[in-house]
Amino acid sequence: QVQLVESGGGLVQAGDSLKLSCTSSIRTFSRYTMGWFREISGRGREAVAAITWGGEFTYYTDSVKGRFTISRSDSKTTVYLQMNSLTPNDAALYYCAAVVVGSDWKDQGSWRHWGQGTQVTVSS
């Protein structure tokens, strides 16, 4: 059974930075695209970023471009999300996702495995 464990969430002030981590139990981690989604209470799950195997390509939703950076360490089977210049609009439960099986990375239905989430709270 695949496990994805997120960490790094917390309470910060607007303008601060946080770095999320997601460690995977997938043995062939390096072969798969990894991603981050977020969910705000009462709203659907929103795609944030994705990174292909080998880190060759990265994708971001428009609202985080220039502020968030996704990266990966295949030796540590971990994917990261560096979040800078945080705003209250970024406050959400952030989920790690693994293995894209569909054609649209922004569609949560395209992903096979999910973590339990880590909470990010941003005060104004």
Tokens standing for residue 87: 């705003």
**Span 2-54, pLDDT tens digits:** 899 999 999 999 999 999 999 999 888 888 999 999 999 888 899 999 999 98
pLDDT of res. 46: 95
Contacts of 27 by beta carbon, 8 Å cutoff, 6+ apart: none
pLDDT of res. 114: 96
DSSP H or E run through 6: strand 4-7
At 100, is the pLDDT very low, low, confident or very high (cuts 50, 70, 90)?
Answer: confident
Grouping H, G, I as helix, E, B as strand and the rest as coil, residue 47 is strand
